A and B are shown apart, each in its own frame.
Chain A
Amino acid sequence: MKKRYLSILIIVLFSLALVASCAEVVQVGTTIGQGMGQISPEDKESIDRLAAQTAKAARPMTDEEEYYVGRAVGATILGQYRLYANGRLTSYVNMVGQAAVLASDRPFTYGGYHVAILDTEEVNALSCPGGMIFITRGMLQRVNNEDELAAVLAHEVAHVNHKDGLAAIQKSRWVEAVSLLGSEAARKVGGAQFTQLVSIFQGSVDDVMKTLLVNGYGREQESAADLSALTFLHSLGYNPDALIDFLERLTKEQTRAPGPGVFKTHPGMSERIVSARSLISKNQWPRKEDPGRDRRFREMRI
């Protein structure tokens, strides 16, 4: 008889397993198991706790948490660079940026995408987790047309899509944060665990900053962002070759550019160009230039 009950239990649990989360199925199982006298209340408690911990440790950062990390990264960058006060140009770069966003894999994030211009001669573009994107005045001066600007912004949108900023956070920090989150104490503002959580937050922001401004992303991440950017450009009707044109010119100008900027944090330009050219040629995407776009870009008098 007991065997029959167990067979039923297995079938029920398998059915539930198809629609529910790990920790919940385990909890149902342990409750039934305890009721049948298969496991003790102590065993049930420890199994439930283990399942809950396993599930929580595996959880990724939520979009809302990504948003707060991104805001802190943005606030750090804006503590070091001034915003360029040119409303007309800011509105224009936001238009081009939004176009890239619409073509992207993740057009909606918790707080949306916003592009800002940093008032510096350094040549760089950066994206914060969640969708805040910075482009420097120095970078704007080096793009020759709207399609090249779209290529730079599409590349940054791709980094947000791929969550490359979040990937810079040391895994041990997030594991520690998640283990704290299970406790009520961590939510009590001012308590020791809450202070620890704030310190993990600080460390996470530092990790992202270090990658954005010092170390840069890995070559694979840069190349993947290029390939996504090319897809966005093509689906919008921008010229995908604009990315290659820009990277080639930037490589030539590399020695003359001031400050740390894009050259230190964006290595392997020649490999990126080869990889981008290969995607365009594989898909036979034609050059698509447009006089209207060129005209409105010139009117910006960047």
Chain B
Amino acid sequence: MKKKDFLFLLLGLGLTSSVALAATVKVVTQEAIIRGDKRFFAPAVARAPYGSVLQEQSREGDWLRVTYQGKQGWIHVSAIQEQKFQLSSLAGGQAQETSHDEVALAGKGFTPEVEKAFREKNPKMRYDLVNQVQSYKVDEQKIQAFLQAGNLKEPGGGQ
């Protein structure tokens, strides 16, 4: 094989390979609640902070059955990111982030430091009010009661 052919082979392989190995998933919300059943309001089994690695057991619709710190439960697919298999160590190199690994990219793009510098440049921005808005929380029991009183359904199979 000519050197040029070899280079093309490598690039071709690289460009066509992006299938994830779904053995572990990572939490991509500030805090995710792992629940005892595949419903939004099922009792919480564990709380996993951003970046926590969960072992995926199975998947049903939008819900993944996972194990976290020895506890089994369910998490919604929008709260996690699938992990990609890390090959770098096989090549004798340092372990590297995968290109789309949300958690590995944390702290490398638009970060709290960027926000801080932006705020200093724009003192009229009302981040104090943003914090106030983001502190609005809807109590789970209240929303369940709200749905029930309004003759509404809990989406995703809940009662």
Please give the residue numbers on chain B whose beta carbons come within 8 Å of chain A beta carbons, in ascending order.
Answer: 1, 3, 6-7, 9-11, 13-21, 28-30, 32, 40, 50, 76, 78-79, 84-88, 90-93, 96, 98-100, 102, 105-115, 117-119, 121-122, 124-127, 129-130, 132-134, 136, 138, 142-143, 146-147, 149-156
Complex: how many Å from CA A66 to CA B149? 35
User: Across the interface, do A116 and B10 meet the contact criterion of CB distance under 8 Å?
Assistant: no
Question: Whole-angstrom distance from the CB of B28 to the nearest CB of chain A?
Answer: 5
- Check A116/B91 contact, CB under 8 A, given A16-B17, A29-B13: no
Complex: how many Å from CA A165 to CA B18? 27
Known: A26-B14, A65-B110, A102-B143. 11 other contacts (CB 8 A): A2-B1, A13-B13, A17-B17, A23-B98, A24-B96, A26-B13, A38-B1, A47-B10, A109-B78, A146-B150, A237-B153
- Closest residue to A291 on the B side, CB-wise? B151
- Check A181/B15 contact, CB under 8 A, given A31-B91, A94-B138, A235-B155: no
User: Across the interface, do B87 and A27 meet the contact criterion of CB distance under 8 Å?
Assistant: yes
User: Across the interface, do A31 and B102 meet the contact criterion of CB distance under 8 Å?
Assistant: no
| Stretch with Cβ within 8 A of B (4 or more), from A75-83, A248-256, A260-268 | A75-83
User: Across the interface, do B156 and A72 meet the contact criterion of CB distance under 8 Å?
Assistant: no
Q: Write out the residue numbers on chain A whose beta carbons fall within 8 Å of the beta carbon of B29.
A: 63, 108-112
Complex: how many Å from CA A55 to CA B30? 26
Complex: how many Å from CA A146 to CA B78? 27
Q: Write out the residue numbers on chain A whose beta carbons fall within 8 Å of the beta carbon of B146.
A: 95, 99
